[in-house]
Amino acid sequence: MLNNNMNKIKAIALGTLILVGNSVFSQLSPVKPTIEIVGEDHKEVTPDEIYVLVHMVERYDGREKITIDAQQQQLMGLMAKKGLDLESVTLSGGNASYVKIPWKTKKDVLATADYEVMVSTAEDAAKVFEASDELDISSCRIGRVDHSKREEFEKEVRIDAMKDAATKAEYMLKAVGSKRGATLHVTENQSPSYYGVDSRPMRAMAATPGAVYSKSAPDFQVSFKKIDLKSIVYIKFEIE
């Protein structure tokens, strides 16, 4: 009698365990297969922000000292005569320092200042170099280039890289009778933007970042390579 009761209890326990196991198993979602795709896109844009660095040093014309303020005003005036729209020219900086130079038998203190002139085209940058040369300003050089809508363009490149990955996944899976499912993971490897400046013989001006204008230097024309914006994304999709 006792053995029969024990057998019944075991049977009931086993049946309950099977029912619970089946219930849990039915609630578990099956693991779907996935596909990982690389998407990429790039865009080349012509710089519309060109920064010319102008270094001014006070100097003497006979006994008259040509001050930094006077040179700045002369530079702006001459750039206007050369056809530059001064409303589109940004002059910033002007951090001053002082150097001692020999003047006859005494030591004189001359101020120096660095200005950044922003123009929108290589032609306008050339006019800044020409004006600096004609006014005998100490030196000038191209500091950097950029684009006013760079962030907007970078956003477009990222979006197009995502679309590229999605398109690749769709046609690859279609070839094997499957479909692209939900996006599970995205990683971006954004390449650094290239801000290039090119130099080609033409007229007396320095066109390479860091290069300084010199009257003894060969003739140069300011020209720029396009800014290269690139984005690479790695995306994992579900396969349906």
Mean pLDDT by runs of 10 across the 240 residues of the chain is: 55 51 54 93 92 87 86 88 78 55 56 86 87 86 89 95 97 95 91 52 38 44 80 95
* pLDDT in the model for residue 201: 29
Write the pLDDT tens digit of every residue in 39-69.
999 999 999 998 888 888 888 888 888 888 8
DSSP-derived secondary structure for 108-144 = EEEEEEEEEEEESSHHHHHHHHHHHHHTT-SEEEEEE
DSSP bridge pairs for 227: 45
pLDDT of amino acid 109: 73
Instruction: For residue 201, give the DSSP letter.
Output: S
| Single-letter code of the amino acid located at 90 | T
Token couple for 218:
């060969």
Residue-level pLDDT at 188: 92
* Range list of H helices, 87-222: 122-134, 150-174
Helix, strand, coil tally for the chain in percent (to 5):
35, 40, 25
Tell me, yes or no, if the pTM score tops 0.85.
Answer: no
Phi, psi angle pair for 216, to nearest 5°: -85, -5
pLDDT at site 148:
93
Q: Which residues of 88-101 are buried (b: 16+ CB within 10 A; e: fewer)?
A: ebeeeeeeeeeeee
Note the pLDDT of residue 41: 95
